[in-house]
A and B are shown apart, each in its own frame.
Chain A
């Protein structure tokens, strides 16, 4: 079993829809949770970062962490065609862990 599980999709939604992306994990030591966005033929770029449990909002994006369920989510409101990309969740623990454990990514297409 992989430490981080993510539905690969693909996911297609109409412009303006609310998008929900999710990951589950097995390692209770994970404390830092991130979402990366990767456009086609590009490297991943950090989109959102959350420490421990709770919500974080940045514009149209909201990241949620539920450590009790080992479940994290990324919500995109009013989705735009420019949001079409692969979204990867990533997480790490507390002890010297600059290495991240990534999900396999969910490919999202927002249709105009």
Chain B
């Protein structure tokens, strides 16, 4: 049963610390998405990649967030320095990149708390 995996599942850190979240997309999927979910804003797209190239990161605060895909099996989202307002659940999703639309398969999320 192929699924997206994310690590860590939970992270508590102090303001100013660097946070790295990792995602392993489903094997064979060529699109990867990073979302942030909060009660107030719901799901917000932060960035997405196709064939490891970033296509859209307009939803991401550029001064502190960075997203990369070092290889096809790993996507990372880094926050440096972290702030309390970054507390949220961060989801990674992957898909096949079909034209028009695409089913996105979500991972279980990383629950981040910044104190």
Listed in ascending order, the chain A residues whose CB lies under 8 Å from chain B are 6, 31-32, 34, 41-46, 49, 51, 88, 92, 94, 97-100, 102-105
**B100 touches A (CB below 8 Å):** yes
Whether the pair A94, B91 counts as a contact (CB closer than 8 A) is no
Residue of B nearest to A45 (CB): B106
Provide the bound-state CA to CA distance between A100 and B34, in Å: 11
> In chain B, residues 81-108, which have Cβ atoms closer than 8 Å to a Cβ of chain A?
91, 93, 95, 97, 100-108
A31-B100, A43-B91 given as contacts; is B42 within 8 A of A99 (CB)? no
Whether the pair A32, B108 counts as a contact (CB closer than 8 A) is no
Provide the bound-state CA to CA distance between A42 and B31, in Å: 21
Q: How far is the CB of A83 from chain B (nearest CB, A)?
A: 19
Whether the pair A98, B41 counts as a contact (CB closer than 8 A) is no
Residue A92 contacts which of B50, B101, B106, B108 (CB distance < 8 angstroms)? B101
A32-B101, A43-B108, A45-B106 given as contacts; is B42 within 8 A of A98 (CB)? no
| Chain A neighbourhood of B97, CB < 8 A | 98
A45-B106, A98-B50 given as contacts; is B42 within 8 A of A104 (CB)? yes
Whether the pair B106, A43 counts as a contact (CB closer than 8 A) is yes
| Chain B neighbourhood of A32, CB < 8 A | 100-101
Q: How far is the CB of B42 from chain A (nearest CB, A)?
A: 3
Q: How far is the CB of B34 from chain A (nearest CB, A)?
A: 11
Provide the bound-state CA to CA distance between A100 and B50, in Å: 15
